[in-house]
Amino acid sequence: MGTTVRDTIKEITRKHLIEGKGKCYGQCLTAVGWVGGTLPELYEEDGMVELSMADVAGGAIVTGVALAGGRPIYVVRYQGFQWYNAVSIVNYAAKSKELWNRPCPILVRSIAMEGGVGPVAGSSHHSLVSRMPGIKVISPMTPREYQYAYDSYMNDDEPYYISEHRKSYDNEDELRTFIDDKEVDFTIFPLSITRLEMTKLVELAGAENITLNIIHQLWIKPFNISPLWAQALNRSKYGGLVTDDDYVDGVASSMANELSLVTTKRVHTLGLDPRTAGFHPSVDNLPPSAEKILEKLKQIKNGI
Amino acid sequence: MSYRLDAFKKASFCRHFENQVYQNAQKKHIKFPMYLSAGQEYIPASIATIMESKGIEPNIFIQHRGHSTYLSFGASPVELVDELLGKKTGCAGGMGGSASIHSHEKNIFGHDGLMGSQVPIAVGHCYSTRKPTIVTMGDASAEEDYVMGALGWASTKNLPILFIVEDNNLSILTEKKVRRNWEMDDVAKAFKMKAVNIQDDPLVIKMHLEDYNFEGPMLLNINTNRKYWHSGAGQDGDNFDRYENELKALGEEATKIDLENKQLVEKLWEQQLGIQ
């Protein structure tokens, strides 16, 4: 068995605390489960710091730690809780370097759930912070990507929002971009957990003679479009599709717009349905599955 | 020089500085909202004097209406004038305006504009550094929910932090009694923290800080009166004026200091405005 995303996060945290003498902050970190098994079993004396349950204050307290040069890891167990926690991260930590030449780097672990947790806590909310200047947003779904995200943070002086997804924790495979040098029907730009649907999507689409480029998106912000991506999109008969685990009125639409501006193709979006999620599976609001993405591709192809 | 005169020297400098800011805003030399601390200057002037006498150089977290804290703790008045004039040579490179001033040299940390956010940020900074920390807030900012959460955590961790509430009884023009039926010192005590509710009398402030050496958190709710309205749009009425009171009480020596400060500040503004 290879190393999973869960093992990778756990080892990164252990080294950050024990070897790097850093600290990890959050609520209920030392509770049963240790945040989905992603934390080593360490306590405050080792650098695992339990905050109170005051979410807004907690985010600002960790901002203060970062301002002092503490390079903290801040765990927010549900991405939806960022509506409280992100206040000082986006309004202070992200602006401090520009306003006062005082860098304020924080690694924010923001964890999305795979549904079943109602109107706030399910799915990703990375669009919430991505509109703000001074913060980087990255969504690693593989062990190597997570290590890369952490290393980038440690070599940077800006706050990092790590848009995680619990469903990726068992993943031990790397995800590879595939660009055909011939014309294809679509180029897909998947984000977050929708990336794990791509293998199945290629199979399903192939069975229907729909050909695809798959260009995995690790970075959400900055979003730098490679010339290779633009060329691939220009060779796509029906254009592109950005798939996301957040509502589309955010980074998905923004990326689609950016891609459309540098190519001659239309780029569509698919994310959460524009409605509130309920708890029961019948009223939940889950990220687009391979089947749902294929349905969208067929609609675009048929001009619906 | 005595403690009272030392504190007066700082307070007088702050008062003349703020009067100049007000006048220059009226003359449109300053082109954005000003948050003036005149009337409340005796709080930072007293605390800074006490810290100097103890040889403590605290980390300081301020909010808007923070000019007097910035000046009392020895940050550059030239850079503050330049900041208020929007110059790149300002203390925040011309981006901070009146509300988001700071000083690397004096460990004064700027404010982002969200009322009271400096309190949890100061608590986190203090937790990380374990160095003496002072954070100021107004009686309105103190009502922010995240301030309460931060006070509780500072107490739980027994941090070396001094919370100062500059209580002028007003949020813009809404009186405290309209907004709440409690006092901040009672809140702090409920969090098991030392706390008092006092006037901005320099001798009273000294009495409460003399034996305090940041062995744990403490909150001082200090009642005061502002001279200028929020954003400097107008002036309050005939409130008690601590600065005027001290000027009279301290006699000839204070009058001399006051005149020197007035001239110094006028010259400073003329120089930075390029007025010959």
A155 inside 8 A of chain B by CB: no
Distance from CA of B252 to the nearest CA of A (A): 41
Question: How high is the pLDDT of residue B276?
Answer: 55
Tokens representing B198 are: 């006092």
- What CATH code is carried by the domain that includes residue A27? 3.40.50.970
Q: Do B120 and A95 count as a contact with CB atoms less than 8 A apart?
A: no
Higher per-residue confidence, B228 vs B73: B73
Residue that has been written with the tokens 């609520």 in this structure: A27
Q: Which residues of B touch A (CB under 8 A)?
A: 92-93, 95-96, 100, 102, 104, 109-110, 112-114, 117, 119-129, 145-150, 152-153, 156
Question: How high is the pLDDT of residue A177?
Answer: 98
Question: How high is the pLDDT of residue B229?
Answer: 76
Q: In terms of domains, do A207 and A272 share one?
A: yes
Q: In terms of domains, do A54 and A147 share one?
A: yes
Q: Is there a domain that residue A175 lies in?
A: no
Q: Is there a domain that residue A203 lies in?
A: yes
Please return the burial class of B157, using the count of CB atoms within 10 Å of its CB with bins 0-12, 13-18 and 19+: middle
DSSP-based three-state secondary structure for A232: helix
Q: In terms of domains, do A199 and A163 share one?
A: no
Identify all chain A residues contacting B92, using CB atoms and an 8 Å cutoff.
99-100
Q: Is there a domain that residue A226 lies in?
A: yes
Q: Is there a domain that residue A176 lies in?
A: no
The H-or-E segment that residue A260 falls in is helix A251-261
Q: Does ipTM exceed 0.90?
A: yes
Q: Mean pLDDT of all residues in chain B?
A: 95
Q: Of the candidates A168, A198, A233, which is a domain's last residue?
A: A168
Q: In terms of domains, do A231 and A279 share one?
A: yes
A301 inside 8 A of chain B by CB: no
Q: In terms of domains, do A112 and A228 share one?
A: no
- What CATH code is carried by the domain that includes residue A206? 3.40.50.920
Q: In terms of domains, do A94 and A226 share one?
A: no
Q: Is there a domain that residue A173 lies in?
A: no
Q: Of the candidates A133, A168, A203, which is a domain's last residue?
A: A168
Q: In terms of domains, do A145 and A200 share one?
A: no
Q: Do B122 and A70 count as a contact with CB atoms less than 8 A apart?
A: no
Q: Do A57 and B149 count as a contact with CB atoms less than 8 A apart?
A: yes
Q: Do A61 and B112 count as a contact with CB atoms less than 8 A apart?
A: no
Question: How high is the pLDDT of residue B231?
Answer: 63
Q: Is there a domain that residue A63 lies in?
A: yes
Identify all chain A residues contacting B146, using CB atoms and an 8 Å cutoff.
54, 56-57, 60, 87
Estimate to the nearest angstrom the gap between the alpha carbon of A295 and the chain centroid: 24
At B4-57, the pLDDT tens digits run: 999 999 999 999 999 999 999 989 999 899 999 999 999 999 999 999 999 999
Nearest CB partner across the interface for A51, out of B112, B126, B153: B153
Residues B7 and A129: their CA atoms lie apart, in Å, by 45
Q: In terms of domains, do A56 and A201 share one?
A: no
| Rg of the Cα atoms in chain A | 19
Identify all chain A residues contacting B145, using CB atoms and an 8 Å cutoff.
54, 56-57
Q: Do B95 and A99 count as a contact with CB atoms less than 8 A apart?
A: yes
pLDDT above 80 (res B238): no
Q: Is there a domain that residue A177 lies in?
A: no
Q: Which of residues 199-238 of A touch B (CB under 8 A)?
A: none
* pLDDT beneath 70: ranges in chain A: 1
User: What is the domain extent for residue A214?
Assistant: 186-301
For A222-233, give one letter per residue: b (16+ CB within 10 A) or e. Answer: eeebeeebbebb
Question: How high is the pLDDT of residue B251?
Answer: 95
Distance from CA of A247 to the nearest CA of B (A): 27
Q: In terms of domains, do A217 and A269 share one?
A: yes
Q: Is there a domain that residue A164 lies in?
A: yes
- Which residue, among A157, A9, A201, A164, has the nearest Cα to A69 in the 3D structure? A157
At B205-237, the pLDDT tens digits run: 999 999 999 999 999 999 999 998 766 667 777
pLDDT cut 90: percent of chain B above it:
91
Q: In terms of domains, do A137 and A21 share one?
A: yes
Q: In terms of domains, do A28 and A158 share one?
A: yes
Domains of chain B, first to last = 3-56+117-273 (3.40.50.970)
Identify all chain B residues contacting A70, using CB atoms and an 8 Å cutoff.
128
Number of domains chain A contains: 2
Question: How high is the pLDDT of residue A121?
Answer: 85
Q: In terms of domains, do A40 and A153 share one?
A: yes
- On the question of a cis peptide bond just before residue A222, with omega within 30 degrees of 0, the verdict is yes
Distance from CA of B118 to the nearest CA of A (A): 8
At A160-199, the pLDDT tens digits run: 999 999 999 999 999 999 999 999 999 999 999 999 999 9
- Mean pLDDT computed over B75-89: 97
- Mean pLDDT computed over B73-96: 97
> What string of DSSP letters covers A158-184?
S-EEEEEEGGGTT-------B--SS-B
pLDDT above 90 (res B172): no
Question: How high is the pLDDT of residue B230?
Answer: 64
Q: Of the candidates A110, A142, A168, which is a domain's last residue?
A: A168
